[in-house]
Amino acid sequence: MWPFVSRRYATYSVEEVDQKPYDYIVVGGGTGGCVLASRLTEDSSVSVLLIERGPIIDSWLSRVPLLSTDFRSARSPTYQWASTTNAVATEIGTKRMISGKALGGTSKVNAFIYTRSIPGEYNAWASNGREGWSWSDVEPYFRKSETSSSNTSASHRGSTGALSLIPLVASTESLGIPRQKDFHDPAVPPYTCGLLDVTIDESGCRHSTFDAFLPPEITSRANLFICPESIVTRLDLKDDDNEIRVAGVYLEPSMLNSNSTAISCYASATREVIMCAGAIATPQILMLSGLGPKGHLEELGIAVVRDLPGVGANLQDHPCVSLLYKVPREDSLHELKHNPLRVIWELLRYVVTGQGWLLSPNPQMAVFALSKLLDEESRTTIGLEAGADSHSPDNLPDIELTGMPFNMCPDVPLDKSEGALSLVCILLKPKSAGTIRLGSLNAHDRPICDLNYLREPGDYEVFRKALRLGLAIGRKCREQGYSMRDALVPDSESDEDLDRFTRQRMTTIFHYTSTCRMAPEQELGVVDDELRVHGVHNLRVADASIFPVVPSAHPQAPVVMVAERCASFIKAVRTGR
């Protein structure tokens, strides 16, 4: 395995695409945009323009799994800003928000985790009126996009898709949560622990959607035009006889310095524009174009093309709280920080064999639980058939626990001789939701995001159960003889101490969704069941913003599925089927 080879890609500047027509314009070359551009250009008779805010990044560091997850650093290809202070629990304060800024988007900097959620997730969408989005409808599109090396013979796993998946480790059977070989088996219960699938290819490299769906043989297609380091400032919306349609996009370079003058260009779309800019940027662009809450747009002096109150509403995330334990240094990534010889050894091992610590993603394991089934000792109640049915919309996991072999609480100092294990307790189904609003009329400026954590009291209740489960797992590890000492845990397991710990230590896990949700307009929906923006012709959205609610999964796999579904909708229109 030799990771140092760089590949070349044909790209276009904003000046080169200016005043040119394309059949389809995909705004955002992130997790979903790369999938969509790849699928649409399978038909050589259509042209596709793919516009991405960030650059193409294909360096060695961007491909080494462990090193490429350093997305919090300033040198990483990310788009970073601070959320507003939570309006209810002021102890929470501002949180740093991050999304990917490169071809491949957040799939270039995330922790590789590939989870679909259980069938009941999508059956819940269908039971709430989302026609064509039940488990039986979406499962073929999950299979289409993946090649699973962990469960090659399973009928529910893909074997010819673009995304390469491999598994890793864990178990918590003593608390009534059974270990499963494959999280994605639709027959397993919704409470489970086991190995995680991750998007790493056979050579041991990160496999983002850019790597998977837009390798050089696809980017070289004559009908695909990739325009990186470019930002869409607004959509060109026409009102013809009270019929609103999108005709194209205005764009300019995104990498401007203080001495640069913005170059405003225009590209027209003869068929459709598809927004894939993500749950933060997609509603921002729609609002800058006059699609959004009427009162907010009028306050900023933006001409209202269509009053869509759901644009920027219902911002959801997976908030998390970490329990921190001291463990032997050789069992954590702190060994690499303080042992230069180990770093050299692991580097050589990875370059020569494609194995070792640099291959390891983080986290490596996960536990999914239902808070309603946890008893006072944090044991899952077994034998409740209703709770075991993973196809039921009533049984969605609302807790995830993952183990990270390093200190997720940098304000807690550790001795150089010590290692750390962070047990991250994640709220999968928060009842609270926030908003995205424009801070200015400049598309380069970060929007105002209020994550609005813990507004709903029910979120405290689930966090208490998540923390108690995490503490119980810590006790079980010690009972089994593992050297593990408290470094940062709540003062007690009382409701008051758990709630205080949650407010003080809670942070984001960077899973922003649902700001242009798929629902009727009267339910603050923005797109219909075929991802078309309500009341606007030829405009769709295909990213995490369309989820009716944040799913009980890391968003990467569901976003890929949504992009696959969107491509099928578009192809059906083009072929008349």
Per-residue pLDDT tens digits for 492-530: 999 999 999 999 999 988 999 999 999 999 999 999 999
- Residue written as tokens 């030799």? 2
284 is in an annotated binding site: no
Q: Is 201 helix (H, G, I), strand (E, B) or coil?
A: coil
* Region of residue 27 (phi > 0: left; psi between -120 and 50: alpha; otherwise: beta): beta
**Token duo for residue 310:** 């759901």
Catalytic site includes residue 338: no
The tens place of each residue's pLDDT in the chain, 577 residues long, gives 444 455 667 889 999 999 999 999 999 999 999 999 999 999 999 999 999 998 888 877 777 777 777 544 445 566 666 676 555 555 676 677 888 888 888 888 887 788 889 899 999 999 999 999 999 999 999 888 876 555 555 555 455 555 444 443 334 666 777 777 777 777 888 888 887 787 777 777 888 899 889 999 999 999 999 999 999 999 999 988 789 999 999 999 987 655 556 789 999 999 999 999 999 999 999 999 999 999 999 999 999 999 999 999 999 999 999 999 998 888 888 888 888 888 888 788 877 777 777 776 566 778 899 999 988 888 887 655 567 888 999 999 999 999 888 888 888 888 888 888 899 999 999 999 999 999 999 999 989 999 999 999 999 999 999 999 999 988 888 888 888 899 999 999 999 999 999 999 999 889 999 999 999 999 999 999 999 999 999 999 999 999 999 999 999 999 999 999 999 999 999 887 6
Catalytic site includes residue 444: no
**Token duo for residue 335:** 């060994």
The number of beta carbons lying within 10 Å of the beta carbon of residue 144 is 18
Q: Is 374 helix (H, G, I), strand (E, B) or coil?
A: strand
* Region of residue 435 (phi > 0: left; psi between -120 and 50: alpha; otherwise: beta): beta
Closest CA to 415 of 327, 504, 490, 475: 327
Within a 13 Å sphere around the CA of 25, how many CA atoms are in the beta-carbon half?
A: 28
Rounded-to-integer distance, Cα 543 and Cα 26, Å:
11
Q: Which amino acid is at 447?
A: P
pLDDT digits (tens, 9 = 90+) for 311-355: 999 999 999 999 999 988 888 888 888 888 888 887 888 777 777
- DSSP states along 302-364: ---SEE-TTTT-SBB--EEEEEEEEEEGGGSTHHHHH-HHHHHHHHHHHHHHS-SGGG--S--
522 is in an annotated binding site: no
State the pTM of this model.
0.90
User: What is the b/e burial string over 253-289, where b = at least 16 CB atoms within 10 angstroms of the residue's CB?
Assistant: bbeeeeeeeeeebebbbebbbbbbbbbbbbbbbbbbb
Rounded-to-integer distance, Cα 364 and Cα 69, Å:
13
* Helix (H) or strand (E) run with residue 40 in it: helix 31-40
Active-site residue, selected from the candidate residues 184, 207, 318, 554: 554
Rounded-to-integer distance, Cα 125 and Cα 519, Å:
9
For residue 170, the model assigns a pLDDT of 39
Active-site residue, selected from the candidate residues 184, 296, 511, 537: 511
CATH (residue range 83-90+162-195+317-332+361-510): 3.30.560.10
106 is in an annotated binding site: yes
556 is in an annotated binding site: yes
pLDDT digits (tens, 9 = 90+) for 93-109: 667 788 888 888 888 88
